[in-house]
Amino acid sequence: ERINPSKLLIRVAPISNDKNDYANYVIAQIEQEFEHNLTQQIYISNACWNYISTAKNATIQMIRKASVSENVTDANGLRELILKDLFEKEVPSNTALSYIKNEVSELW
């Protein structure tokens, strides 16, 4: 949930106007969130953890792809492009979140 780009980009403001600095900063936030929750993998199945890991990697890939776009010239442009892309694509973390909810519901 915390690596959902639409929420992440609101929570994490640009530290400079440079698009690459901002992309690296946002990616560092994602990695930090992932590392913070690393111990949680003992409570879920390997398949569920794989969904989470894949969502993290897909989100990072989305940010990196947007940051190399010639149409993006600054940090705010990067934010706009990523958010625009989210309207056209499913958010990777939503797939992982659905899988987690399904797995938890099977436990109850």
User: Would you tell me how many other CB atoms lie within 10 Å of the CB of residue 59?
Assistant: 23
Q: Is the pLDDT of residue 37 over 90?
A: no
Is the confidence at residue 58, as pLDDT, over 90? yes
Determine the average pLDDT of the residues in 17-41.
92
- In whole angstroms, what is the distance from residue 80 CA to residue 83 CA? 5
Q: What is the pTM of this model?
A: 0.88
